[in-house]
Amino acid sequence: MSAKNSFQPAWTEKPPKTGSYRSIFKWGGPAEFKHPSSAWYAMIKETFGMTDADFKKPQLEGNEKVEVKQAISLSERQISAFMDIVGKKNVATDDYSRVKYSHGKTIHEAMDLRHNIVRHVPDIVIHPRDKKDVRRIVDYCNAQKIPVYVFGGGSSVTFGLQTPRAGVTLVMTTHMNRLLSINEFNQTARVQPGMFGRDYEEALNQAPERFDTDLRYTGGHFPQSFEYSSVGGWVLTLGSGQASTYYGDAYDLVLSQEYVTPAGSFKTLDFPATATGPKVNDIMKGSEGAFGVLVEQTMKIFRYMPENTQRFAFMFHSWDEAVDASREIMQGEFGFPAIYRISDPEETEVGMKLFGIHGTPIDSLVNLRGFKPMERCLCIGTTEGEKGYARHVKEQITRICKQYRAMSLTGYATRLWEKTRYKEPYMREDLQDYGLIIDTVESGVTWDNLHRLHRGARAYIKKRPQTICMTHASHFYPQGTNLYFIFILRAKDLQDYRRFHDGLLDAILQNGGSISHHHGIGKLFGRLMEPHLGREQMDVLRVLKNHFDPHNIMNPGGQLGLDPP
């Protein structure tokens, strides 16, 4: 090995210091890391004109102890009223809690925290024990006009957790985090919204041991944030899991919900279908804490049969062919794959480096067979369900991919991808330690507009010099899919980045994409809601907001663009 290759960038390997800013913005488990592969490292140096020398000492790591300048504006009396409700130990007023529970994983927030900038904090943080606590808290806040924010897994990338009006933040993951019961007849699980995705899935997988069921179950929802997002957050922000093409989006997975709102508490009907007017269950989905607090939910669950999972991967000659084949697959009426993802040419190259395909015999074979770099497109996926179904869907996918001149890579590439499926976000910190930003923006799109949106958003991103832009589609429907843009760039400062990011969203809107396919709106995209939906439809959301929350105490300050003018 040459001296050059033996250099190892000084990626941070230490868990962040307790009480530090870094411990707040760092993704995932404190002691968990995933560093860029050596091929990625080489790519980054080349793209940004950097050398090994630039990767010797991480910058602006945010290791400082969190400090809050904002005074607590609630009175002693108000604070003790909350303590009376939930008990003293479930009310926190310390600086660290106030910052931790008001920040998500938006890159903008990480940039601020690295500079020890704290723009917003709640006055206090409350850990409600149950829905009765939530009812009493909301009643009190409504009477006293105290803003109420809700914190689940904390994985928001849309300023969903920001607390611009201070007030209180309710942390749902501390106590309200249990799987309450499994109904095997109905294949449903009654769950508290503060349960983390990983815990939820584990409990379902272990249902016979924990709930004395006959069968094992899965929730079918595996977003990249799976380990650090909450079951309630999935529904409130309309998330999608990596296997959504088969299992459905969070929207499809909720049978009923129970809410505490300033206008009252209620549990929606839990019929599998009912023709009783507009469905309140659906009206509440995606309300992002602006209508009330989700306190319980009944989720559809599925039989857990991992032994039936089939994997496949293909290389296409072009993006056009990958898209056409995918459309044929999704409209073929033979069932649906679970995971299904196609990468555009740039993501294919970058992804092969990331997943470790680069330099393997597969890589050589792909080159040999004439699949050209920056033209070829990777497709990976799985089929699940009953054994014969999984097999049949895979056979049909294979048939169609071959018809579109794709080459099978076997399930190997998919296995490589699976290893890192939840780990990729960890690279954020590594890159940012050296002044680089990796971030994502995503959009829903119909088939007939896919190429226009892809070209339009890419053109905007690539206009910026030295910018890597990877695109994939990963959630499929017969009528269309999503486009997920991942970009790596260097930004002078937050303002520079913000300008770029805002412009990208505008470019997506101008090219007919939706503002978000599954990240939600939060406060970051709120300004785009009215241009996107039009005044008449925003008025519908506003009238609902005003009904549930006439004093605008629920997640005020821009969520969903719903603040009264």
Site for a second copy in 217-246 (CB under 8 A): 237-240
Question: Is residue 135 part of the contact set for a second copy (CB under 8 A)?
Answer: no
For the beta carbon of residue 350, count every other beta carbon within 10 angstroms.
Answer: 21
- Please say which residue, 254 or 427, places its beta carbon nearer to a second copy: 254
Q: Which stretch binds a second copy (CB under 8 A): 84-92, 127-135, 284-292, 352-360?
A: 284-292
- Please say which residue, 455 or 462, places its beta carbon nearer to a second copy: 455
- Please say which residue, 129 or 551, places its beta carbon nearer to a second copy: 551
Question: Is residue 266 part of the contact set for a second copy (CB under 8 A)?
Answer: yes
Contact 136, 259 (CB under 8 A): no
From its phi and psi, is residue 512 left (phi > 0), alpha (psi between -120 and 50) or beta? Answer: left
Contact 122, 168 (CB under 8 A): yes
Q: How far is the CB of 211 from a second copy (least distance, A)?
A: 15
- Print the binding letters for residues 535-554 with a second copy: x by CB under 8 A, - otherwise: xxx-xxx-xx--xx------
For the beta carbon of residue 446, count every other beta carbon within 10 angstroms.
Answer: 14
Using the rule CB under 8 A, which residue among 45, 392, 452, 498 binds a second copy? 392
Q: Which of residues 499-518 bind a second copy (CB under 8 A)?
A: 514-518
Question: Is residue 211 part of the contact set for a second copy (CB under 8 A)?
Answer: no
- Please say which residue, 307 or 493, places its beta carbon nearer to a second copy: 307
Using the rule CB under 8 A, which residue among 68, 83, 280, 494 binds a second copy? 280
Task: Spell 128-157 as b/e; 16+ CB within 10 A means b.
Answer: beebebbbbbbebbbeeebbbbbbbbbbbb
Q: Which of residues 414-453 bind a second copy (CB under 8 A)?
A: 444-448
For the beta carbon of residue 183, count every other beta carbon within 10 angstroms.
Answer: 15
Question: Is residue 319 part of the contact set for a second copy (CB under 8 A)?
Answer: no
Both structure tokens of 237? 């922000």
Q: Which of residues 166-205 bind a second copy (CB under 8 A)?
A: 183, 185-188
List of residues 6+ apart from 280 with CB closer than 8 A: 266, 268, 269
Q: Which of residues 517-536 bind a second copy (CB under 8 A)?
A: 517-521, 529, 532-536
Q: Which of residues 245-264 bind a second copy (CB under 8 A)?
A: 249, 251, 255, 261, 263-264
Task: Spell 470-483 as b/e; 16+ CB within 10 A means b.
Answer: bbbbbbbbeebbbb
Using the rule CB under 8 A, which residue among 365, 478, 506, 531 binds a second copy? 478
Question: Is residue 334 part of the contact set for a second copy (CB under 8 A)?
Answer: yes
- The phi and psi torsions of 294 (rounded to 5 degrees) equal -75, 125
Both structure tokens of 503? 């412009």
Using the rule CB under 8 A, which residue among 477, 494, 509, 551 binds a second copy? 477
Using the rule CB under 8 A, which residue among 68, 83, 305, 509 binds a second copy? 305
List of residues 6+ apart from 344 with CB closer than 8 A: 319, 377, 454, 458, 470, 471, 472
